Amino acid sequence: MASTNDLKNGMVLNLENQLWSVVEFQHVKPGKGPAFVRTKLKHVLSGKVVDKTFNAGLKVETANVDKRDMQYLYKDGESFVFMDSSDYEQIYVTEQTVGEAARFLLENTEVIVALHEGNPLYVELPASIVFEVTYTEPGLQGDRSNAGTKAATIETGTEIQVPLFVEIGTKVKVDTRTGAYLGRA
């Protein structure tokens, strides 16, 4: 059990026997009336996002979530195979559970897999990963870093926006949360 005052992003709550992950929260203390906590919760299994308001200080049940360091090995049909870095045990995680993270999964990438009672809940990528640009239109003479952007495909097949001077074969650092170009690597 935890108080709504202790909520943090990424915390998993057990509400009505369903697991909800806190996406964002805000403590509100209006001038008149009691304080409350406004949250945005994501259903761990379905991915559905809802807004929910709690009274400040209310007790909520937290779920015991085990976050393990794992390495992404390969994709096997509809599942992604991860290996636990400590005991080399392999687990299969469905495409639905991996979600948007699949856009930036490269073989041998170190990730964090959250498990609840042995079932994978979600995959957490590092904040940024270095990728090689596999396709982009050639830049023109005079292109500078502040002149604009163009589409580029990285080695996972995901398309991102990069500055005009980036060419095929360039290693770029990408923010895995937003898909934004962070710089050359």
Q: 26-70: per-residue pLDDT in tens?
A: 998 988 889 999 999 988 777 788 999 999 888 998 888 888 999
Q: What integer pLDDT is reported at residue 146 of this predicted model?
A: 60
Domains defined along the chain, listed by start: 2-60 (2.30.30.30), 66-124 (2.40.50.140), 128-184 (2.40.50.140)
**pLDDT above 90 as % of the chain:** 26
> Whole-angstrom Cα distance, residue 158 to residue 73?
19
> Which band of pLDDT confidence, cut at 50, 70 and 90, is reported for residue 174?
very high
With 0-12 / 13-18 / 19 or more C-beta atoms within 10 angstroms meaning exposed / middle / buried, residue 158 is middle
How confident is the model over 123-147, as a mean pLDDT?
Answer: 79
Read off the pLDDT of residues 112-127 as tens digits, 9 standing for 90 and up: 998 888 888 888 899 8
